Amino acid sequence: MSPNVLEKVTFSRAWDPRIVCAVTLTLVFLCGAAAGAVVMNLGVHTRLHQPKFDSAAGKALYFERMQRDLNLTPAQLDQMRSTLNDFWQYYRTVLTDGKSRVEQILNEEQRKKFERMLQENQPR
C-alpha cells in the first residue's frame, strides 16, 4: 500500500471530536436520568420532601411516629393530639398577628414587597 492510501484509511477511521463529545454527553445524561429514576423508585424523594409540619398529612406522620417511638397508650395519644393541636393553633395565631402588625407599619408598596418576600420563602 502506498503512504497516501494508508493516510486515507487511518483518517477515515478517526472519530470526529464533535460526535465523540455529543455521544459522551448523551450517555452521561442518560446515565443520570436512569440513576434518578432508580432513586425515585426506591422512595428516597418521599423522605426528602416531607409534608408541612402543620398540615393534616404532616400531623398524621408526626402522631404515627410518636405512637411508634414512644409507645403511647390510646389515652396518651389523644391527650398528645389535643395538646399539640392547641400548640399549632397558637402558632398560627401568633404568625397571623405578627404579620398583621408588621403590615400596619408598612406603606402599600412595602406591603406588596413584603407579601412577595413571604411567598418566596414558602416551602414548596
Query: CA of 10: how far to CAs of 3, 7, 13, 106, in Å?
Result: 11, 5, 5, 75
Give tens-digit pLDDT for 9-68.
Answer: 555 566 788 888 999 999 999 999 998 888 777 766 666 667 777 678 888 888 888 888
- Residue 4 CB coordination number (10 Å): 8
Give tens-digit pLDDT for 75-100.
Answer: 998 998 899 889 888 988 998 999 99
What is the structure's pLDDT at 15? 76
* Domain boundaries along the sequence of the chain: 1-49, 51-124
Considering just the CA atoms, what is the radius of gyration of the chain in Å?
30
What is the structure's pLDDT at 58? 83
